[in-house]
Amino acid sequence: MRIATIGAGAMAEALGAGWAEAGHEVLVTARSPQRAAALAARLGGRAAAASLRDAAAFGEVILLAVPGEAATDALTAAGAADGAFDHRLLIDCTNAFAAEAFTAAPNSFTLAIDTVAARVAKVAVGARVVKAFSMLAAEIWRGGERSYDARPLTVPLCGDDPDALATVATLVRDLGGHPVDAGGLDRAQYVEAMTAFVMGLWFAGHDARATLPPLESAFAHPD
């Protein structure tokens, strides 16, 4: 499969490396040609670098991997206004964290902007957008561990196109994850909000998993 990244940061590198290792072709694009070329070189022989305008033309799948506040500008630079993403499968792995959240007190983690996925879909007219990979740090995908306490690493997928969801599910499995259909793209707002909340718990030193019981214990019995 041909996968293009918009962005050359940590997530583009972590996911791109995994997909290249799984046999996919990866094209790295970014505002900085130097950063794109450097990442492509690190990814190895199945990767190359190009301009942002080349992402939609190359990719059967395009990964949007930029800060949330930069998402619409990046898509515009990649040709969104000219219909470049029409019918393209666009994975949105961005988050809506305020930039200062990472250095502020954990309980100040708030959403800086409205739903990124909705903005992405609005700007990338005609794209088949799937929200995925946004709940996990790049370091998770760089490591070898894909299960915790014998539970598979689960990746919720939000999107409105069944074929697009099926393709992204395959890409999740290629990385050793377990894809879960989490509903339409309108439900991405809950994924983004939950990610901000859980990140706050983690940065405060709490085990976020302990807030949720395992499936077999999750259901209440009526009185």
pLDDT, residue 195, reads 86
- On the question of pLDDT at 99 being above 60, the answer is no
Mean pLDDT estimate for the chain: 90
Q: Which single residue is written with the structure tokens 């000219």?
A: 82
**Main-chain dihedrals φ then ψ at residue 48, nearest 5 degrees:** -145, 170
Domain topology for 2-209: Rossmann fold (3.40.50)
| pLDDT value for 96 | 78
Residue 71 or 108, more confident: 71
How does strand 151-152 pair with strand 154-159? unpaired
Q: Where exactly are the structural domains of the chain? A: 2-209
**Within 13 Å, how many C-alpha atoms sit on residue 27's CB side?**
18
pTM of this prediction? 0.91
Question: What is the gyration radius of the CA atoms in the chain, in angstroms?
Answer: 17
- Percent of the chain residues topping a pLDDT of 70: 90
Average of pLDDT values for 196-214? 79
Query: In this predicted structure, what is the pLDDT of residue 200?
Result: 79
DSSP H or E stretch at residue 152: strand 151-152
- For residue 155, the cross-strand partners are 179
